[in-house]
Amino acid sequence: MRLFTGWWMVIIAAVMTGAGQGFVGQGISVFFKPLAEDLNLSRAGASLATGIARLQGGIEGPLTGWAADRFGPKWVIITGVSFVVLGLVLMHGADQAWQYYVFWGVMVGIGQNLGLTIAIDKSLSDWFIARRGLAFGVRFAIIGLCQIAVVPIVTWLTITQGWRNACLVWAFVMLVCIPVTLAFIKSKRPEHYGLLPDGAARGETVKEDLVTAGVRYAESFEEREFTVREALHTSSFWIMLFGWSCSILVVGGITVHVVPFLTDIGISETVAGLMLSMMIFFTIPSRFVSGLLADRVPRNRLQLVAATALLLQCMGLGLFLLIPRVTTAFVLLALYGLGNGAVTPLRLAMGGRYFGRRAFASILGVGMFINAPVGLVSPIFAGWIHDITNSYHVAFLTFAALLFAAAVVLLFLRPPKLPKRLRVLEYT
């Protein structure tokens, strides 16, 4: 039996994202200390590049979403990956702070945000409806596996070759992603290739054109297609935005500083890298399971799954704050991984189930734009707290409080009311 094209897109997109985000997201934590020492930066200063990347990613989010909705995701992805490659090549020769901020913060940041986030999410949301949560769950589970493989490689490269050569090696890895994107990622919905979402059989829809059939198929799962303006006029959008904003703030602080935090409490760099891989490992089952739940749990109960995911992370941080030991650091990473792994598939699948396919990328981009200051602040805040207190204790306490508040607010989330405008839309 031939594998549905959408599943090939899931697999390819996941491996690409895992390779890119494994280096850019987790790799920076591995070589954070040597990079800061080489460039004579404080931890807050070294965190600034990651904050810049998150800030400009949010600023460009609406444009990225609009371009992916209007022209299709393929060329947006290729453009983004090209920026990542160029930025990593230039990082090899960076010896001043401003170069690090431009090459990593701006160029790699633009590339990651263009090529590895909204555009890919758009392509998968277009190709799946009934199995959208499963598709995102599988995608992020594969990303987790790739990240587990990437972290020890980056650790070995950093220790033996230095962080500059590690950047150069990874530039070549990302360069390979460009022809792969050309070959496997589609620019339009499956209806334009003679298929229906999820690989569904046409059945009685044979008398309709496929574009109309695709809309009817989506409606059979109670999915309606909101415009950006309609989504912004719902309380659901703003409640989700608050909850995910708190989660993004915590992720930005934890991801960048996890290895420095572990080495600060007496763990070697090699073991800290393995513990980071362990944390990623715990995201894998929760990514897959949350994707399944996003498809099967009724829309008016999805907020319970989301709140549980945030509370798991809160519990991990809270336990370590109460009993700051190496053993509880393991528990922290395990619970944080389980909770954080569930969040991203849920966020994307819930967005699709609530607001449909028509403006999926644009709505996601608007959310990223509003979140831009959060992305800037989170890693810098954690680094600044360490600089002035020589500890991450206050930062972790703040993160735990934010996660608890977000979980409580998400309990009030309900599916948005259907827009008054309900018509079959034609797409080019």
What confidence tens digit (pLDDT) does each residue in 221-275 have? 667 788 899 999 999 999 999 999 999 889 888 888 888 899 998 888 888 888 8
Write the CA distances from 416 to 196, 240, 271, 369, integer angstroms. 26, 11, 46, 21
Q: Is the pTM of this model over 0.95?
A: no
* CA-closest candidate to residue 370, choices 70, 53, 55, 48: 55
What is the three-class DSSP state of 93?
coil
Residue 134 identity = L
The model's pLDDT over 179-229, given as tens digits with 9 standing for 90+, comes to: 999 999 998 888 888 888 888 766 544 445 666 666 666 666 667 788 899
All structural domains of the chain with their residue ranges: 5-189+218-410
Exposure letters 96-126 (e unless 16+ CB within 10 A, then b) = ebeebbbbbbbbbbbbbbbbbbbbbbbbbbb
Handedness of CA 276, 278, 280, 283 (dihedral sign): negative
Residues 20-76: tens digit of each pLDDT: 988 988 888 888 889 999 999 998 888 888 778 777 767 788 888 888 888 888 999
- Class assignment of domain 5-189+218-410? mainly alpha
Q: 73 by DSSP, 3-state: which?
A: coil
